[in-house]
Structure 1
Amino acid sequence: MSYTKVAIGIILKKNKVYITKSNEIKYNANIWEFPGGKVKENENIIYALKRELLEEVGIIILKFNFFQYKKIFFKKLKLYFFLIKKWKGQAHSKEGYKYSWIFFKKLKFCKFPVFNFIVIKKLKNIY
């Protein structure tokens, strides 16, 4: 069975995390997400993470740690979450999405894809 790999960055700034909300036209309209995207064929997961965050958020990653792995069987996805602790540039939405810096404890009140809540719970326990 072939899975689509997705690199996801959890961008941290003190006790806040960067989240983005997709456009109304897209499939996941009105759902908050951590930025990232699909790994291209023959692309390294780390390169994909760096490429996606530069394209979507406008930052160059300087320091990161692997955080969580999640396989979503019904969607044939492999999600790789990374904590982004240091970057260069001003984090903003380059693709016209809404974005916010939100306190960790308020993440539970935002509408996220269901499989993100395991990550959010783990974040809450760390921060």
Structure 2
Amino acid sequence: MKEVNYIDIAVGVLRRNHQVCLSLRQKHQSHANHWEFPGGKVEQDETAIDALKRECLEELAVETQNWQPLIEIPWQYEQVAVRLHVFITDDFSGEPVGNEGQEVKWFDIDALSGLTFPEANKGILLALKMANQYMISGKFSGVDEALDKFGQALRSGIKLCQLRAKGLSPTEFSEIAKPAIELCHQAGAKILLNGSIQLLQDFPEADGIQLASNVIYEYSGRPISHDKLLGVSTHTDKDIQQALKIGADFILLSPVKETSSHPGVPGIGWDVFSEKVKSISLPVYALGGMQPEDVQIAKQKGGQGVAAISGFWPG
């Protein structure tokens, strides 16, 4: 396979409360009339963060600091391949202005889906909406215990959940799913259902579906509508490519560490996780032996955060 020569681009998300700062590309530029985040090419002997500080000063007349990693996106356009090194900060001084004649505006994060961006920015928009902790439901002995544990997790700050309840009858699943969805939405959290895409017909209020790696090969394209989230569990490079093919919104990659549920199966480790993430243009969660303290490690390695059962599901 021919090696791709990527141009490194630093991209910065300036955040103020629940808003982000965007610029409108001008008529003489490629992707004219598309909104974009500030940034530019990383020059020789310059780090991505150095480039961001320089570009924000030049483009927007603001001084920035405390940039934190958000996502890294490899993308191949017809004529050029770019690698977007995306960071986020709410630590800046000055009010952004169009120093180069461009229109500059603040937008609510929830309104970004209605704007036009360069295609490579899809992963950025997803990463801004996704939490860095993804709780997968664990063991429970009945409806009351399941809902009690969901409530505990939501009160602790969990904002992204997965209802994974294998072996339940449709009636038993419904008894848990409907109130769990309501609980999550009351807490401002999102919830995905683990299982068949048909579950969205039965529970249209759910925020999406989590597909296991052994079923994704049944599809040749995206199997659900774009107004729902599609998460895909992956273990191999082949799984990852299939997840991208069917239009996943985010990916779970496992096992990063050895887990109690699969003793003796070694994890891929953080270095391999980081290397694999470099080829993925979407948010990626590390799964397998994860604990809350692993979130920052995952983000430093290029991930969105971590997914876990025992790490987040109340005991």
Same-fold status (TM-score > 0.5)? yes
Shift of the alpha carbon at 1:62? 2.3
Summarize the Cα distance change of 1:107–1:45 in structure 2 as closer, same or farther, 3 Å threshold.
Answer: same
8 Å contact from structure 2 (residues 11, 40) kept in 1: yes
Q: Aligned partner of 1:101: which letter?
A: W
> Which residue does 2:66 correspond to in 1?
63
> Which residue does 1:72 correspond to in 2?
75
Asked whether 1:7 is paired with 2:18, we answer no
Aligned-partner Cα distance in 2 for 1:46–1:107 = 24
Asked whether 1:20 is paired with 2:23, we answer yes
Asked whether 1:91 is paired with 2:69, we answer no
For each residue in 1:13-38, what CA deviation from the matched residue of structure 2 results, as whole angstroms up to 9, or x when unmatched? 01110011011111121100001000
8 Å contact from structure 2 (residues 49, 67) kept in 1: no
Asked whether 1:108 is paired with 2:113, we answer yes
Of 43, 48, 56, which aligns to 1:53? 56
Aligned-partner Cα distance in 2 for 1:42–1:2 = 17
Aligned-partner Cα distance in 2 for 1:77–1:42 = 18
Asked whether 1:44 is paired with 2:47, we answer yes
Corresponding residue SS for 1:54: helix
Aligned-partner Cα distance in 2 for 1:42–1:62 = 19
TM-score normalized with structure 2 length: 0.39
Asked whether 1:33 is paired with 2:36, we answer yes
For each residue in 1:84-115, what CA deviation from the matched residue of structure 2 results, as whole angstroms up to 9, or x when unmatched? 21111121111110111000110000000112
Of 106, 117, 123, which aligns to 1:118? 123
TM-score normalized with structure 1 length: 0.93
8 Å contact from structure 2 (residues 53, 65) kept in 1: no
For each residue in 1:17-62, what CA deviation from the matched residue of structure 2 results, as whole angstroms up to 9, or x when unmatched? 0011011111121100001000112222211111011100111112
Gaps of 5+ in 1: none
Q: How many residues align?
A: 127
**Bigger relative contact order, structure 1 or 2, given CA contacts below 8 A and separation 6+?**
1
8 Å contact from structure 1 (residues 62, 88) kept in 2: no
Quote the RMSD (CA, aligned, Å): 1.5
Q: Which moved more, 1:87-96 or 1:6-15?
A: 87-96
Q: Which moved more, 1:23-32 or 1:73-82?
A: 73-82
The sequence identity of aligned pairs, in percent, is 28
Q: Aligned partner of 1:56: which letter?
A: E
8 Å contact from structure 1 (residues 71, 79) kept in 2: yes
Aligned-partner Cα distance in 2 for 1:106–1:55 = 27
8 Å contact from structure 2 (residues 96, 104) kept in 1: no
8 Å contact from structure 2 (residues 73, 123) kept in 1: no
8 Å contact from structure 2 (residues 65, 91) kept in 1: yes
Shift of the alpha carbon at 1:2? 2.7
Larger Rg: 2
Q: Aligned partner of 1:113: which letter?
A: P
